[in-house]
Amino acid sequence: MTDSDFGSSNPCDTDDLSARWDKVAFRAQGSPFENLTISGLAKNSGVRQWSRSGSKVKGDTVARYIYLTFDELLEVEKLDIKTATHLIEICETTFVFEAECDDLGSFEEIDSQANAQRMRFVEEYGLYQDFPVKLANLDVDLRELCVAEEIITFVDLMEFLDRLADKAWIGGSYKNLQNVFAHGDEKGLTKFFPYRLGHRGFHLTETLSFCLNRITRKELQSVYEYHERRRRRSRLLGKRMEMPKVVEEKLLPEVFECLHYYSKRQPRLPIRLHDSAYQARELMFLNDPQTEGVLHWLIHLALGIFQPSKNHDPELDEDLSNLSVPISPEIVKDLRAMVQSEAATETP
C-alpha cells in the first residue's frame, strides 16, 4: 500500500490514531454497542453522518470493525485515514455518552430495570410473550425491520425497542410503539397488537382482522365485493364471481397461522368456532359489520379445509372445491389432532 492510500498523515499521526483505535476497539468488544450500526451511533452521538460507501447495508455494525487492528481497518476494510478517524470519533463520543450515564447505574442494572418494567406491562394486561410479531398490525417498514433483525415474538420486539430506546432516527411507527411500551398505553396497544380494551391477553378475532390490513386496498376491495356478491347470490341465485386470488394466496394461510397459534393456547377453540353464537359474540367486538362478515366466511373456509365433515353449507363446498391453498401440512395436522383430542374427551 502506498503513502497516498493513507492520505497526508505522517507516521506520528498514524501511530496516534492506531493507539486511539486500540483503546476504543477493546472497550467496545462485548459491550451493548457491539451489534449496533455505525450510522446509528453517529446519529445518536451527534457526530457527523457516517458516509462510508455501504454504510446502509445490513452488517455495517460496530462488531464488523472492532476485532480488527488499525492497519487491518485500512487494508481489509479499505478505509482511508479520514474515514478511519471518523470511525474513531464516533466510538469515542459514544463512550463519553456512556460515562455520562454512570450516575444512572451500570448497563446491567439498567437492563434489569427495563426487563422488570417490560414484565410488569406484560403481566398487567396478560399479554402473550410468544405472540408472533408477523401476525401483529405493523406497517411494512417495521415488519421488514423485524425480519432483518430476526425479531420473532412480542417480547423480542419489546427488548429490541429497549436496546434502541434513544435511536429516534428510526422514527415513525417505531417511535409510536416505543411510547406504547414505555408508558403502558393500553389504548395505543390495540393499534399494533390484538389486545381488547378491558380484557386480558390477545384475541383471535382482532388478530384475524389484522390479516385484512396486510393486503392492498385493491385486494381488500375485491374481497369485500366477492363476499357481498356471494351473500346476495345465496338469496337471488345470481351469477357466481371468481374468488380473488388473494384469499387463497395470502389470507387463508394467515388465518391458518392464527388458528394454529391460538388453538395451542385454547385446545377447544376449533370446536368452539363451529358454535355460531360463540363466533358471533367474538366478532361483534370489532364493531364493523363488513369486516365481521368477511372474517366469519374466512373462518368457515379454514374450518372446512381441515374439518370438511363438519361443513353442511353447499355454497362453502363450492368455494372449497376451487381452492388450492398452500397451507403448511404441519399446521393442518396439528389442528386436526387438537380437534380429535378434544372430541375424544367429550365422548362419554
- pLDDT confidence of residue 7: 44
Residues 334, 340: Cα–Cα separation, whole Å: 10
DSSP 180-249: HHHHT-HHHHHHHS-B-TTS-SB-HHHHHHHHHHTS-HHHHHHHHHHHHHHHHHHHH--PPPPPPHHIII
- pLDDT confidence of residue 101: 55
Among 1-5, 73-77, 275-279, where is mean pLDDT lowest? 1-5
- Report, in this order, helix, strand and coil percent for the chain, each rounded to 5: 65, 0, 30
Among 60-69, 187-196, 224-233, where is mean pLDDT lowest? 224-233
pLDDT higher than 60, residue 347: no
Model-level pTM?
0.64
What digits encode the pLDDT tens for the residues 156-192?
Answer: 998 888 777 654 445 567 778 878 887 788 899 999 9
What digits encode the pLDDT tens for the residues 66-104?
Answer: 999 999 988 888 888 999 899 999 888 888 766 655 554
Taking a C-beta distance cutoff of 8 angstroms, is the pair 302, 257 a contact?
no
Residues 6+ apart with CB under 8 A from 143: 133, 134
Mean pLDDT (the chain, rounded): 81
Taking a C-beta distance cutoff of 8 angstroms, is the pair 101, 75 a contact?
no
Q: Name which residue leads in pLDDT, 167 or 14.
A: 14
pLDDT higher than 70, residue 107: no
339 phi and psi, to 5 degrees?
-65, -45
- pLDDT confidence of residue 12: 63
Query: Residue 225's pLDDT band (boundaries 50, 70, 90)?
Result: very high
User: Tell me, what DSSP letter sits at residue 77?
Assistant: S
